[in-house]
């Protein structure tokens, strides 16, 4: 849809005013001819400028509020999203909150003041971001929740991967190798709804085995951040007093790398099954080295492109396509797209992340 600048109609009205005024000046004949000539010249220039302005399309502005770029994948999300928005004729405006929910709120206000037509949000905090949705709606700006669900608010759309399924993929893989034994679960922070969804997936697989008495969950903790130090802290405090662990399931690869550091200190790296998520370069190297069993590869390109496509459609007043399911965010059933992820193990690295161009072969094997 072509959007003509609101100002153009206004300006054309002003132009006719200018000509009327210049005619009036001529009639009066009180000004020297050179000034009248100059005024006419200005009038012609303005007229041509306004013709150009009225035929030009106003580009939709798409705000992208991100949490942090600390975890490797988010650089890719950002680049792909920006690229797609530009390709579709929009202007991406990106802000990074540095894991600070209050700052994310300020950044939302800033982008709204800059006139964004739609906001795409990776929420720092699943609940606090509800206030951003409220603020956006007050300003007639629709909101898409990206990767992480914003809870308990009138969120417009949600685009992510099926996080429960990711948890199931991780737990299924490890329990196939070790259907009995002691399992440790290290989740992401409780401020991120994905941490709960992943754990739900883990428990869908593990609970029946726990009930049968085959598996014991000897440690089950949420971290404060999605970062290596957190998993290192959690796991090493367990290993200090306990020796018996067969498998560790982590919410992402950053946590998994902290788990490896703890396992290494107790000479257990490579002897304990370990699952992560994100297909970080280091995680894939760890898989090659035998210190990590699997990671999960999420289709970041499809995710970013789906969000950019939806954002541009919404900004242009159209309904976004492919919102084929709904997800309950505690307040409403949010129209959503949930993409599928896949397992990366030592056998399929080339067929998955390398073949899809997600990671270069030389980055892994050098």
Q: How far apart are CA 361 and CA 366, in angstroms?
A: 8
Q: How far apart are the first and last CA of the chain?
A: 49
Contacting residue, 194, 282, 293, 329, with ligand GAL by CB under 6 A: 194
The DSSP code sequence of 199-237 is HHHHHHHHHHHHHTTSEEEEEEEE-SSSSHHHHHHHHHH
Upper half-sphere CA count for residue 23 (Cβ side, 13 Å): 5
Residue 344: CB minimum distance to ligand GAL, A: 14
Residue 135: CB minimum distance to ligand GAL, A: 22
Q: How far, CA to CA in Å, does 49 sit from each of 29, 35, 52, 201, 293?
A: 28, 21, 5, 60, 63
Which parts of 248-267 interact with ligand GAL (CB under 6 A)? 252
If one asks whether residue 165 binds ligand GAL (CB under 6 A), the answer comes out as: no
Q: How far apart are CA 165 and CA 125, in angstroms?
A: 22
Judged by CB, which is closer to ligand GAL: 182, or 295? 295
Piece in contact with ligand GAL (CB under 6 A), picked from 49-57, 150-158, 186-194, 307-315: 186-194
Packing angle of the helix pair 33-55, 6-28 (nearest 10 deg): 160
Judged by CB, which is closer to ligand GAL: 147, or 246? 147
Contacting residue, 171, 278, 310, 349, with ligand GAL by CB under 6 A: 278
Number of residues binding to ligand GAL, judged by CB under 6 A: 11
Burial class (CB in 10 A: 0-12, 13-18, 19+), 301: middle
Which parts of 63-92 interact with ligand GAL (CB under 6 A)? 71, 73
Piece in contact with ligand GAL (CB under 6 A), picked from 187-195, 216-224, 320-328, 332-340: 187-195
Judged by CB, which is closer to ligand GAL: 183, or 225? 225
109 Cβ contact partners less than 8 Å away, ≥ 6 residues apart: 135
If one asks whether residue 187 binds ligand GAL (CB under 6 A), the answer comes out as: no
Judged by CB, which is closer to ligand GAL: 156, or 280? 280
Q: Are 132 and 156 in contact (CB under 8 A)?
A: no
Which parts of 92-131 interact with ligand GAL (CB under 6 A)? none
Q: How far apart are CA 92 and CA 295, in angstroms?
A: 31
Contacting residue, 82, 162, 168, 192, with ligand GAL by CB under 6 A: 192
Judged by CB, which is closer to ligand GAL: 88, or 327? 327
If one asks whether residue 175 binds ligand GAL (CB under 6 A), the answer comes out as: no
Contacting residue, 226, 232, 238, 358, with ligand GAL by CB under 6 A: 226
The DSSP code sequence of 56-101 is SPPPPEEEEEES-S-STHHHHHHHHHHHHHHHTT-EEEEEE-TT-H
Packing angle of the helix pair 228-239, 253-265 (nearest 10 deg): 40
Residue 83: CB minimum distance to ligand GAL, A: 20
Piece in contact with ligand GAL (CB under 6 A), picked from 92-100, 123-131, 188-196, 343-351: 188-196
If one asks whether residue 147 binds ligand GAL (CB under 6 A), the answer comes out as: yes
Residue 363: CB minimum distance to ligand GAL, A: 18
Q: How far, CA to CA in Å, does 55 sit from each of 85, 86, 255, 311?
A: 22, 20, 53, 24
Residue 252: CB minimum distance to ligand GAL, A: 4
List residues near ligand GAL by CB under 6 A: 71, 73, 147-148, 188, 192, 194, 226, 252, 277-278
């Amino acid at each position: 849809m072509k959007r003509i600048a609101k100002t153009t109609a206004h300006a054309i009205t002003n132009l006719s005013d200018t000509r009327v005024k210049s005619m009036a000046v001529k009639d009066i004949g009180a000004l020297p001819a050179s000034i009248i000539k100059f005024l006419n010249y200005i009038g012609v220039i303005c007229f041509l400028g306004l013709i150009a302005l009225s035929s030009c399309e106003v580009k939709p502005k798409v705000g992208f509020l991100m949490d942090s770029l600390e975890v490797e994948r988010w650089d890719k999300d950002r680049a792909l999203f920006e690229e797609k928005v530009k390709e579709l004729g929009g202007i991406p405006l990106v802000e990074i909150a540095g894991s600070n929910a209050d700052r994310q709120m300020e950044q939302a206000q800033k982008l709204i003041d800059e006139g964004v037509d739609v906001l795409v949000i990776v929420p720092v905090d699943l609940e606090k971001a509800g206030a951003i949705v409220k603020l956006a709606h007050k300003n007639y700006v629709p909101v898409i929740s990206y990767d992480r669900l914003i809870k308990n608010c009138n969120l417009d759309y949600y685009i992510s991967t099926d996080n429960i399924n990711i948890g199931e993929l991780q737990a299924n893989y490890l329990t196939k190798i070790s259907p009995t034994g002691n399992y440790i679960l290290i989740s992401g922070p409780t401020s991120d709804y994905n941490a709960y969804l992943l754990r739900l997936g883990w428990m869908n697989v593990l609970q029946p085995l726990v009930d049968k008495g085959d598996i014991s969950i000897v440690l089950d903790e949420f971290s404060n951040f999605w970062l290596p130090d957190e998993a290192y802290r959690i796991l090493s405090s367990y290993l200090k007093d306990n020796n018996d662990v067969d498998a560790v399931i982590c919410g992402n690869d950053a946590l998994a790398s902290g788990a490896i550091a703890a396992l290494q200190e107790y000479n257990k790296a490579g002897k304990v099954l370990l699952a992560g998520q994100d297909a970080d370069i280091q995680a894939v190297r760890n898989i090659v080295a035998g210190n990590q069993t699997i990671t999960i590869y999420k289709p970041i390109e499809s995710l970013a492109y789906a969000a950019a496509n939806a954002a541009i459609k919404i900004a242009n007043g159209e309904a976004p396509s492919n919102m084929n399911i709904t997800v309950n965010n505690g307040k409403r059933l949010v129209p959503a797209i949930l993409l599928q992820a896949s397992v990366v193990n030592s056998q399929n690295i080339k067929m998955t992340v390398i073949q899809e161009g997600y990671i270069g072969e030389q980055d892994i094997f050098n």
